[in-house]
Structure 1
Amino acid sequence: MSTSPSDITRYLHDLLQVEAVEDNFFRGMATPKGRGRSFGGQVIGQALMSAIKTVGDDRPVHSLHAYFMRPGDATKPVLYRVERDRDGRSFATRRVVAVQSGKPILNLAASFHVKEEGLFQQSTMPDVPAPEELENEVQLGERFAEQLPEAYLAWLKSPRPIELRPVGLRPPFTREAQGPMQHIWMRIRGDLGDTVAMHRAALSYVSDFGLLGTSVLPWGKAFIDPDMQFASLDHAVWFHDDFRMDEWQLYSMDSPWTGGARGFNRGQIYSRDGRLVASTAQEGLVREVTPKG
């Protein structure tokens, strides 16, 4: 993949597109140069785009709820079957099943709502440093290179469509125990265009970054740790307002509970001007294991 912002953004744009193969059936591409398990945010984003293609543009998606059933294979495309459950005057609902090798890997339900005026209130955006004052993960990797595995450093340096700038150090850049809360500025590199659906699919994609790790911050654990097993079990997103994912958004996350090899996490996403544009929730597997070898 080219490292120019336009090419990196095109990569994500193409990755989230789905091809109609039959009425209510869509195909999502495999991860280019992918290997191992599919990234959960990619499957959610493609499933959402499949549902969006069956709903009019006057009804943007306002919520989605997904369950991961099996690990996806990043080297293979995914087939998405959409059920058109309801088309009402104000709301439309869709169900999507993602299938690989004849078996479902994800179920997703999404609801769409025409825009309406109404009562309004929201939580206040946390007071944190601006993204320009912070290092991104590539810069952090360079600063802490001596204590990080080579494979992780190579992954950080590989071209990626998303830029993350954590507010404060988190694992694996630090192993200090900390409270189950974190804030990360995030954006898509380059211009993602003006389509509302694409920006909402892109937010669904990036909303899987960092969320599950919040539940193990008190133990200083990270996804790269050989003595831990992580896997998303379910994922939900509520869209509150319009936004652009190629502009900075603040992802504020907390975990009210971890136990029984599971962690529950919540997130709020704020635009640069302080609007609460989306909320998320996720439960995932956070299991201690014996390292292989």
Structure 2
Amino acid sequence: MDREGDNVLLNKYLNLEKVENNLYRSTYQQLNTVGKTVFGGQLMGLGLMAAGDTVESEYHLHSLHCYFLKGGLDQPILYQVEATREGSSYCSRSVKAIQNGLTLFTMQCSFKKPESDSFEHQFKMPDVPKPDELKDRCQFYKEWIDKTHPSDERLHNILREAETETYEARPAYPQRFRRENGDKPRECMWIRAKHPLGDDPHLHKTVATYYSDMTMADTATYPKPYIPGSNPFFMTTLDHSVWFHRPCRPDDWLLYESECPFTANGCGFIVGRIWSPDGKLVMSVAQETVIRTAKAKL
């Protein structure tokens, strides 16, 4: 599944080798900065690449539900696909990510054929500034560091990581993004892949899923003011679900709206909606995250 072009996202993070029928392997793992385990968005993205390869082209990805069971290491990972349903309108696939004989991740994917339906309804997209009216998050980090936290090594590390990401991000609520005084656990951020992705609809949904895990957990921490130089939380994703309502293009701007209605007992629950620039709801997302204070026993 090699692709031409200087595109780290496709040529490394979402590059998958077919070993045999229903079995695939990834050799390049994208590690989280904290914990040095495989990024959950990559596991989901590669799982979707594997599942999509086993489905006829008239079926389109409809939803996915997954659990993260164990942190992956910087070693090859196998993706095993099982056909769990073949129907006239819907089909489904189960995916396991396996490393050293242990299951890291499980996912159930639903695919469906397009249907025409005269009844439509959706919420209204949040009224926020357009991307060309906003600063990139890297610019925010630079200004934040220069003005108030020049010696904050953690912020410097966050900035360096943001500069190497495969997507652009422009927060709609700058003050909330900095969390200087604590704020509501809600975020709206425009995101866009840095490189063109071609015209494959399944790849578009795969990349959108990959990005959907980028910022969700952070939303749960917004009520707590940022403390320079400290990382008061341990966080890792427990489960993640996505529903696809309409086609989307993550190489064009998408507005990612997320909020955390509940955090307690070592967990945070976050819900998200993803909108196209013309105000169409293209995806809904839900995630539960482990969120513990630094003093809690792991």
Report the RMSD for the aligned CA atoms in angstroms. 2.1
Q: Which residue in the other structure is 2:260 paired with?
A: 255
Distance 1:98 1:33, change over 3 A: closer
Where in structure 2 are the equivalents of 1:241-280 lying within 5 Å? 241-280=246-285
Distance 1:138 1:30, change over 3 A: same
Shift of 1:17: 3.0
What whole-Å deviation, never above 9, does each CA across 1:1-37 have from its counterpart, x for those lacking one?
Answer: xxxxx62xx2111221321102211112323698721
> Are 1:229 and 2:227 an aligned pair?
no
Segments of 4+ in structure 1 off by > 3 A? 32-35
Q: Which residue in the other structure is 2:162 paired with?
A: 156
Q: Which residue in the other structure is 1:103 paired with?
A: 102
What whole-Å deviation, never above 9, does each CA across 1:101-126 have from its counterpart, x for those lacking one?
Answer: 11111000000000001121111101
Secondary structure in 1 aligned to 2:222? helix
How far apart, CA to CA, are the structure 1 residues paired with 2:87 and 2:269? 33
Contact 1:228–1:287 at 8 Å: present in 2 too? yes
TM-score (norm 1): 0.91
Secondary structure in 2 aligned to 1:250? strand
Q: Which residue in the other structure is 1:3 paired with?
A: none
Shift of 1:172: 7.0
Distance 1:225 1:115, change over 3 A: farther
How many pairs align? 282
How far apart, CA to CA, are the structure 2 residues paired with 1:11 and 1:219? 34
Unaligned runs of 5+ in 2: none
How far apart, CA to CA, are the structure 2 residues paired with 1:228 and 1:56? 43
Contact 1:263–1:285 at 8 Å: present in 2 too? yes
Where in structure 2 are the equivalents of 1:1-293 lying within 5 Å? 7=6, 10-14=7-11, 15-31=13-29, 36-73=36-73, 75-118=74-117, 119-146=119-146, 147=149, 148-149=152-153, 150-157=156-163, 159-169=164-174, 173-220=178-225, 225-290=230-295
Contact 1:141–1:156 at 8 Å: present in 2 too? no
Contact 2:141–2:159 at 8 Å: present in 1 too? yes
How far apart, CA to CA, are the structure 2 residues paired with 1:33 and 1:211? 17
How far apart, CA to CA, are the structure 1 residues paired with 2:29 and 2:181? 34
How far apart, CA to CA, are the structure 2 residues paired with 1:221 and 1:121? 39
Higher relative contact order (CA 8 A, sep 6+): 1
Secondary structure in 1 aligned to 2:126? coil
Shift of 1:290: 3.4
Contact 1:251–1:268 at 8 Å: present in 2 too? yes
How far apart, CA to CA, are the structure 1 residues paired with 2:128 and 2:24? 41
* Amino acid in the other structure paired with 1:244: R
* Amino acid in the other structure paired with 1:11: V
Secondary structure in 2 aligned to 1:216? coil
Shift of 1:171: 7.0
Contact 2:30–2:38 at 8 Å: present in 1 too? no
* Amino acid in the other structure paired with 2:10: H
Shift of 1:217: 1.1
TM-score (norm 2): 0.89
What whole-Å deviation, never above 9, does each CA across 1:153-212 have from its counterpart, x for those lacking one?
Answer: 32233x321111111136773322111111000010121100011111100100001111
* Amino acid in the other structure paired with 2:98: V
